[in-house]
C-alpha cells in the first residue's frame, strides 16, 4: 500500500482487519520517523515522561547530518539565537518553542556530558573534538529514557485508525506498528545522498496539510555567463570580507569565489533570501574609506590596481579591474580622474550580480519552506486537523540562518513535541 493509496490517511475497515490478521502488532505511545537532531531530541523528551517511544530511521546510522555538520565539529547552537534569525511565512511561529528551549538549555546538556566546546564567532558554539560527541550524547540520553531506535527501517505507510484514535504504520516485511502519536522528523531535502527524502512532505499531503514553496537555502550561487564564470573560476579560492544584500536582508562576512560561482558565509546567508532572477549586491570593500584613499594617493605614481591591492586580495583586484575598469587599472593614481575613481568605488561597493542559479539540494545546507506553519500548533507542533500527528525540525517551514540556528530549531521543536506527544 503506497502513501498515495491512502484516503487522507484514514484506514478503511478492510485495511484495519488486514492489519489485525497480520503478525502480532507492536504497540507504542510515540513513534518518531527520522533519527536526526529533532527526532532524537523529541524521543528523549517523550521517553523521560515515561512514554514508550520508538524511533524509526531508514539510514544505516543515526544523526548522519549531525556527524557532517560544522565541518565535522557540529555548530550545535548559537547562544544569540532569537526568532529574528529564522525565515518562515509566519515569522512568529518559532517564538514559543525557541523561548521554552533555549540555547542555554542545550548547552546545559552538553556540559552535563562533559563535551568540550568553544565559541568560534558570533555566538556559534562548536565541539572542540568531533560532532560524534553530540550524537553519542543523544544516544546516551535515549538509552536513559528507554527509547528504542531502529535503523535500516523503511516506513511504507502511515494511516490513522479513527475509531481507535491511533495510527498504524506499515513497515517493510509486512510488519505493523501501532502508536498513539506519530512524529515526523524526516528533515529537509538537502543532501539526498545522506538520506534526505520528501517522506515528511508526502505524509503532510496525504493528511491534507499544506506545504509552502521549497528551495535550497544556505547554498552557493552559480553564474552562467561564460565571461563571469571564467573570471570567477580564475580566482577560485580567493575570499574577501563583504556585505551581501538581497531583498532587504544584509550580512557581513566572507565571500569566497568558487569554480562555478560564489560561496562563503555571506553568500550562504543571503541565498536564503534570494529568488530566481533577483540581483544580489556586494559591498566588496566595506572597510575602505574611498575619500580618504583618494586624498592619501592623489599624488602617487603607483598604478590604481596596485593601490587597491594594498587593501584587497591581489588576485581579486586583478580580475575585478579586468572586468570593470580595464581602461584605468594601470593608470598611475596621480593621473586618475575623480570621476573614474568614484565610478570604480561605486562598482566595488555596490556590485550588482545576478546569479544564474544555486548549486541546488546537492550542496544546500538546508531546505527553505516546508510544512506550512498554518497547519501546526506553535506550542506543540501537532497538526491542527490530525490529532496525534506532529511535524518537527527542518521539515517544517522554519529555516535558520547559518551559525547553529538550524540545530537550535531542531532541538527546540523536538522538545516542544516531546513534551506532549
Instruction: Considering the complex, state which of residue 243 and residue 407 has its C-beta at the smaller distance from ligand FAD.
Output: 407
Least Å distance, CB 134 to ligand FAD, is 10
Least Å distance, CB 75 to ligand FAD, is 3
The CB density around residue 341, as the number of other CB atoms within 10 Å, is: 20
CA distance 20 to 169: 12
Instruction: Considering the complex, state which of residue 142 and residue 303 has its C-beta at the smaller distance from ligand FAD.
Output: 142
CA distance 403 to 227: 33
- 330: cell is 594601470
Query: Where do contacts with ligand FAD occur on this chain (CB under 6 A)?
Result: 33-39, 56-59, 64-65, 68-70, 74-75, 155, 185-187, 190-191, 195, 197, 199, 365-366, 393-395, 404-407, 410
Q: What separation in angstroms does the CA of 405 have from each of 128, 193, 269?
A: 18, 23, 12
Task: Return the exposure string of 209-238: e unless at least 16 CB atoms fall within 10 Å of the residue's CB, then b.
Answer: bebbebbbbbbbbbbeeeebbebbeebeeb
Instruction: Considering the complex, state which of residue 152 and residue 310 has its C-beta at the smaller distance from ligand FAD.
Output: 152
Least Å distance, CB 143 to ligand FAD, is 18
Least Å distance, CB 265 to ligand FAD, is 12
Instruction: Considering the complex, state which of residue 297 and residue 358 has its C-beta at the smaller distance from ligand FAD.
Output: 358
Closest residue to ligand FAD, judged by C-beta, is 36
Least Å distance, CB 15 to ligand FAD, is 20
Least Å distance, CB 406 to ligand FAD, is 3
Please name the residue that has the C-alpha cell 546538556: 109
DSSP-H helix ranges across 237-390: 265-271, 290-297, 304-309, 314-324, 338-349
- Dihedral class, residue 318 (left if φ above 0, else alpha if ψ from -120 to 50, else beta): alpha
Instruction: Considering the complex, state which of residue 262 and residue 282 has its C-beta at the smaller distance from ligand FAD.
Output: 262
CA distance 175 to 150: 13
Instruction: Considering the complex, state which of residue 186 and residue 271 has its C-beta at the smaller distance from ligand FAD.
Output: 186
Amino acid at each position: 500500500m503506497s502513501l498515495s493509496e491512502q484516503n487522507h490517511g484514514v484506514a478503511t475497515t478492510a485495511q484495519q482487519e488486514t492489519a489485525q490478521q497480520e503478525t502480532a502488532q507492536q504497540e507504542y505511545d510515540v513513534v518518531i520517523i527520522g533519527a536526526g537532531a529533532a527526532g532524537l531530541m523529541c524521543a528523549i523528551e517523550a521517553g523521560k515522561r515515561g512514554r514508550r517511544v520508538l524511533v524509526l530511521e531508514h539510514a544505516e546510522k543515526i544523526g548522519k547530518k549531525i556527524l557532517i555538520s560544522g565541518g565535522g565539529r557540529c555548530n550545535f547552537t548559537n547562544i544569540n539565537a532569537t526568532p529574528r534569525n529564522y525565515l518562515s511565512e509566519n515569522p512568529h511561529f518559532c517564538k514559543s518553542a525557541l523561548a521554552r528551549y533555549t540555547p542555554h538549555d542545550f548547552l546545559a546538556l552538553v556540559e552535563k556530558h562533559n563535551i568540550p566546546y568553544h565559541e568560534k564567532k558570533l555566538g556559534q558554539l562548536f565541539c572542540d573534538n568531533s560532532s560524534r560527541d553530540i550524537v553519542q550524547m543523544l544516544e546516551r540520553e535515549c538509552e536513559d529514557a528507554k527509547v528504542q531506535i531502529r535503523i535500516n527501517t523503511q516506513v511504507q505507510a502511515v494511516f490513522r485508525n479513527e475509531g481507535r484514535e491511533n495510527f498504524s504504520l506499515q513497515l517493510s516485511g509486512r510488519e505493523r506498528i501501532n502508536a498513539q502519536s506519530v512524529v515526523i522528523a524526516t528533515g529537509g531535502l538537502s543532501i539526498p545522498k545522506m538520506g534526505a527524502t520528501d517522506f515528511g512532505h508526502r505524509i503532510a499531503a496525504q493528511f491534507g496539510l499544506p506545504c509552502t514553496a521549497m528551495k535550497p537555502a544556505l547554498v552557493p550561487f552559480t553564474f552562467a555567463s561564460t565571461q563571469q564564470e571564467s573570471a570567477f573560476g580564475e580566482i577560485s579560492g580567493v575570499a574577501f570580507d563583504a556585505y551581501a544584500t538581497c531583498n532587504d536582508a544584509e550580512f557581513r562576512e566572507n565571500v569566497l569565489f568558487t569554480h562555478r560561482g560564489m560561496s562563503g558565509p555571506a553568500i550562504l546567508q543571503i541565498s536564503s533570501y534570494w529568488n530566481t532572477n533577483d540581483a544580489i549586491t556586494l559591498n566588496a570593500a566595506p572597510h575602505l574609506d574611498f575619500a580618504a584613499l583618494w586624498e592619501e594617493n592623489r599624488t602617487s605614481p603607483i598604478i590604481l590596481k596596485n593601490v587597491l591591492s594594498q587593501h584587497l586580495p591581489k588576485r581579486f583586484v586583478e580580475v575585478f579591474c579586468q572586468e570593470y575598469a580595464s581602461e584605468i587599472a594601470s593608470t598611475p593614481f596621480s593621473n586618475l580622474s575623480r570621476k573614474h575613481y568614484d565610478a570604480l568605488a561605486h562598482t566595488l561597493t555596490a556590485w550588482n550580480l545576478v546569479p544564474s542559479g544555486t548549486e541546488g539540494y546537492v550542496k544546500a545546507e538546508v531546505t527553505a519552506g516546508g510544512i506550512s506553519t498554518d497547519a501546526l500548533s506553535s506550542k506543540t507542533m501537532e497538526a491542527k486537523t490530525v490529532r496525534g500527528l506532529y511535524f518537527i525540525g527542518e521539515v517544517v517551514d522554519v529555516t535558520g540562518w547559518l551559525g547553529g540556528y538550524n540545530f537550535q530549531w531542531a532541538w527546540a521543536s523536538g522538545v516542544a513535541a516531546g513534551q506532549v506527544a
